[in-house]
Amino acid sequence: MKKAIIIVVAILVVGAVAGLALLTREQRAVLFHPPTNTDVLFWDEGTRDAMFRAMDQFPFLAKSHVVEAGGAVHPLPKGAPLAIGMDMPAFEASQRSAAIVILVDGQLVYESYGLGFDAQGKWTSFSVAKSLTSTLVGAALQDGAIKSLDDPITDYITDLKGSAYDGVTIRQVLTMTSGVAWNEDYTDPASDVARFNAHKPEGDMDATVSYMRTLDRAAPPGERWHYNTGETNMIGALVMAATGKSLADYMSEKVWRPYGMEADASWLLNSNGREMGGCCFQARTRDMARFGQFVLDNGVAGGKHVVPEDWFAKATAKHFDTDRNRGYGYQWWTYPGGGFGASGIFGQGIFIDPARKLVIATNADWPVASTKGGVMAERTRFYEAVQSAVDARNASASQ
């Protein structure tokens, strides 16, 4: 509550001194919908609409590191509009859509914005960041900073030694099969996912590692899939420990600059100033679509492989079944029919279908955080409608 009051007071002070006109559009929106607490899972709808496009503009709430873009921008030439066989305005209203960007064969064939958001804004990704962090593991493998996915994670994060993570491999953490106990209930203020970011770390230990080392074992390593955002934050800690670089700097070096993203992105930090690998990457929706295209291009940026040549084939294959009618790879969801994607609470996503050369980037503010049922199922039907539209176009072109 104190942080929320500080945010409002800070905005009012800036407005009084410099004038309301000097605030960004996003800051002005938050002025009328300030958060009443620091936990995004329990914000009201108006606050989410305002804050999801301004998470990196309020260091009183959370600090961030810049992911620098630079150089020539990767082009997204306009293609012929795609005839999607569904009522798109109704779908976007139902999803409370902020942005949809669709690429086919690298061409922009559909783009739409809502909730006061536009192409120049940055929307927070939530768990879409998991797939980005996974990609940095591939980059660290390519660089030799990580020797093997079958190495124990404790070889790189020594503060985990003596915990339930003894004997757990990097691959098992990537596939969320560590067997360590974790509660990801977004509606429960006492769940691990609600509490771990507020955990006070021991000494200068990474905040996530400090929390995760206290957890118990629930199953043998490698036997049971269980969704765990804390472990993706730990994967981020792994990359930083192995490379000696922040996630923001490493992402800029490996992908954001060489692939030609059009704008700087940002990555929110935990309580001791390190990026949260499982969450909170802010970027333009077109640049998230470009990231999907980077994956379709098999991880080639600046003329060279950023990840091993077989990385995405392995990372986006189904390694385990889940409870959500989808499979799971290395922090990627797999869909029936060969597609795969990144997915975040409240409706953020990147869907990729290599066979159709298709990328769909979405941002939204769903009425609920959950990525199960309801609006999630509706979005999956949208993915399928776009796939059908691409098939129809390809069939027409071949006649």
**pLDDT, tens only, 246-262:** 999 999 999 999 999 99
Task: Give the number of domains in the chain.
Answer: 2
Q: Give CA–CA dist 40/47, Å, rounded.
A: 9
288 shares its domain with 370: yes
Same domain as 328, residue 389? yes
Q: Is 190 inside a domain boundary? A: no
Contact present, 361 and 101 (Cβ < 8 Å):
yes
Q: Is residue 58 part of a domain?
A: yes
Predicted pLDDT of residue 393: 95
Residue 34's pLDDT is what? 62
Q: Are the beta carbons of 252 and 67 closer than 8 angstroms?
A: yes
Query: 104 and 7 in one domain?
Result: no
Domain ends where: 63, 80, 105? Answer: 63
Q: Are residues 126 and 15 in the same domain?
A: no
Q: Domain containing 110 — which CATH number?
A: 3.40.710.10
Give the domain extent around 41: 2-63
Number of other residues whose CB lies within 10 A of the CB of residue 100: 25
Residue 117, pLDDT score: 96
Examine the domain organization and report whether 56 and 75 are in the same domain.
no
Instruction: Specify if 305 maps to a domain.
Output: yes
pLDDT for the residue 175: 98
pLDDT of residue 16: 40
Residues of the chain whose pLDDT is less than 50?
1, 4-5, 9, 12-14, 16-17
State whether 54 and 74 are in the same domain.
Answer: no
315 domain residue, yes or no: yes
Largest CA distance in the chain: 67
Residues 55 and 72 in one domain: no
Model-level pTM? 0.91
Based on the fold, state whether residues 358 and 290 are members of the same structural domain: yes
Q: Does 155 map to a domain?
A: no
pLDDT, position 58:
85
Among 63, 79, 96, the domain-final residue is 63
Cβ within 8 Å of residue 211, ≥6 positions away? 192, 195, 196, 199, 201, 230
Using DSSP, state whether 323 is helix, strand or coil. coil
Pairing of strands 333-334, 304-305: unpaired
Residue 91 lies in a domain: yes
Boundary-marking domain end, from 30, 48, 63: 63
